Copies of this chain bind each other. A is one copy, B any other.
Amino acid sequence: MHKVAVVSYGTSKFSKESKLSLFELACQPCIEILKKNKITKHKIDAVLFSTCSPEQYGSNIICEMLDIHPRISHRIESLCNSGTNAIVSAYSYISSGLCDSVLVVGAEKASTPANRLIWDISRGSFTYPVCWAALFARAHMRKYGTTEEQMAMISVMNHISAEKNPNALFKHKITLTDVMHSRKIVEPIKLLDCSYTCDGSSAVLLLSEHKAKEATDNPVWIKGIGQHTVGASFNKVTHDDLTTNRATRIAAQMAYNMSDFSPHDIDIVELHDAFTILQILAYEDLGFTEKGEGGKFNHQNEIAINPRGGILGCGHPLGATGLAQTAEVAAQLSEKAGKRQIKGCKTGLVHNLAAAGTSATVIILGV
């Protein structure tokens, strides 16, 4: 099993309505990566395109626009964790020895058809994920006394972090009162408890060990990978317990086992805060705090959480999110996060959910 490094990354500005097409958006961070690393078109072995857009053969189109001619090229979709699915795929291409270099790019337009869950008719007319986030929130409040203020605080914190991120959709501070008084969407979830589907793109270049050492003095290595899929319906997600995300717990355990790290070793995390309650569940399911204690975990100082602003602060271009999360953790670990740099972080974790919790990816990175 060959080692795999994240060597370069780029993220576009996330916006409500970019003037760029899906493919122009996708190319933007790739151009940055190719220029920065002086990579010629012959040196990319695979291009994987993560998106929920129905556009056909998008990966080929991106190759043409970038004038690169890889061996492998296809589109990957698994709703909101398409991005980390593509990264794990890239990892396996390199780790197996089939490829030395894989460019993974994710892009989405706010008009994506992927923000509703229409297949599972047991959801009735409640096809928007917010309906299901509300059930998680209610259950956690009931069982553990988690409060609306604790959830609201997560939005406040992630918006504060996003202020330092020039690419974030939301760059203004918000107060606890703003969140608490924002429009109710589905009781107890308010507008500012929700992330915003937007336009955006992000790309990551993965290299094999020998190529990474040629390219950079401080590669960031993929140390652990965990993934789990429970199915497609809400019934499968919950397993009679609405206060936990089973896919995350299983994926996290797998990633910790593979990496030989434990939750205590994690210095920095980008976790899937599409709704504030999901951040509380993630604290617990990733093992950072005891079950039921998530609401109080906001005030710890051990782990840097969502330093780029998370999904709440940055916006949620679905197919790009997992890549933007990975790009942030890699930037932090290689001390290239600029104004947002967290000092001395050595080990980071990416947590990316899909489809109201039906699948989860956990990736552990380290220097």
- Assess the B88–A57 pair: CB atoms within 8 A: no
Interface: A52 (CB within 8 A):
yes
In the bound assembly, the distance between CA atoms of A52 and B60 in angstroms comes to 14
21 A–B pairs (Cβ distance < 8 Å), ordered by A? A2-B96, A52-B56, A54-B54, A57-B77, A57-B114, A57-B358, A60-B355, A61-B232, A63-B229, A63-B231, A64-B231, A64-B232, A64-B236, A71-B251, A72-B85, A72-B227, A73-B227, A74-B82, A74-B85, A75-B77, A88-B98
Further pairs besides A59-B78, A95-B98: 18, Cβ < 8 Å: A1-B96, A1-B97, A56-B79, A57-B79, A60-B79, A61-B119, A63-B229, A67-B231, A69-B230, A71-B226, A71-B229, A73-B229, A74-B76, A74-B77, A88-B98, A89-B92, A89-B93, A92-B95
- Assess the A60–B78 pair: CB atoms within 8 A: yes
- Assess the A56–B228 pair: CB atoms within 8 A: no
Interface: A333 (CB within 8 A):
no
Interface: A269 (CB within 8 A):
no
9 tightest A-B contacts by CB? A64-B231, A54-B54, A95-B96, A74-B78, A96-B96, A73-B229, A60-B232, A64-B232, A92-B96
Interface: A354 (CB within 8 A):
yes
Interface: A243 (CB within 8 A):
no
Interface: A289 (CB within 8 A):
no
Interface: A47 (CB within 8 A):
yes
Looking at A23, A64, A71, A233, the one whose CB has the most chain B CB atoms below 10 A away is A71
Known: A64-B232, A92-B96. A227 touches B71 (CB 8 A): yes
Interface: A113 (CB within 8 A):
yes
Which residues of B sit under 8 angstroms from A55, Cβ to Cβ? 119
- Assess the B96–A91 pair: CB atoms within 8 A: yes
Which residues of B sit under 8 angstroms from A229, Cβ to Cβ? 47, 59-60, 63, 69-73
In the bound assembly, the distance between CA atoms of A98 and B91 in angstroms comes to 9
- Shortest CB-to-CB span from A223 to chain B, Å, is 13
Interface: A179 (CB within 8 A):
no
Which residues of B sit under 8 angstroms from A227, Cβ to Cβ? 71-73
Interface: A329 (CB within 8 A):
no
